[in-house]
Amino acid sequence: MTIKIISVFAVVVAAALLGTQTALAAPMLCSGEQKTCIAACQRMPLNLIADCIAGCRARLNFCKHTGCWDNGRNRYCGLLRQ
């Protein structure tokens, strides 16, 4: 009885995996990362927002030259330089 249940479960899982399609992700852009950075700045205290946004602009310039975004904790590359 348990072998029959496991077999049915395996067939259902296999059918589900075969029926799914791979979703294409949109390419990551430097400008998109800047928007995320500025949105994070908006949640900061008012006296820190201007410096935070200036940091986002500096990160954008770096990203446009290298294709890498450095958010202070992580650095990831391969972004489109737009």
| Per-position pLDDT tens, the chain of length 82 | 577 666 555 555 555 555 555 556 667 899 999 999 999 999 999 999 999 999 999 999 999 999 999 988 889 899 887 6
Residue 38 domain flag: yes
Spell out the residues 6+ positions from residue 5 whose beta carbon is closer than 8 angstroms to its own: none
In a domain, 41, yes or no: yes
Give the separation between CA 56 and CA 27, rounded to whole angstroms. 20
Does the residue 63 lie in any domain?
Answer: yes
The answer as to whether 82 is a domain residue is no
- Domain range for 40: 30-77
Domain total of the chain: 1
Residue 55 lies in a domain: yes
**Cβ count near 28 (within 10 Å):** 15
Note the pLDDT of residue 61.
95
Q: Are 58 and 30 within 8 A, CB to CB?
A: no
In this structure, is residue 17 part of a structural domain?
A: no
Judge residue 53's burial from the number of C-beta atoms within 10 Å of its C-beta, 0-12 exposed, 13-18 middle, 19 or more buried: middle
Residue 70: count other Cβ atoms within 10 Å of its Cβ.
15
Residue 3 lies in a domain: no
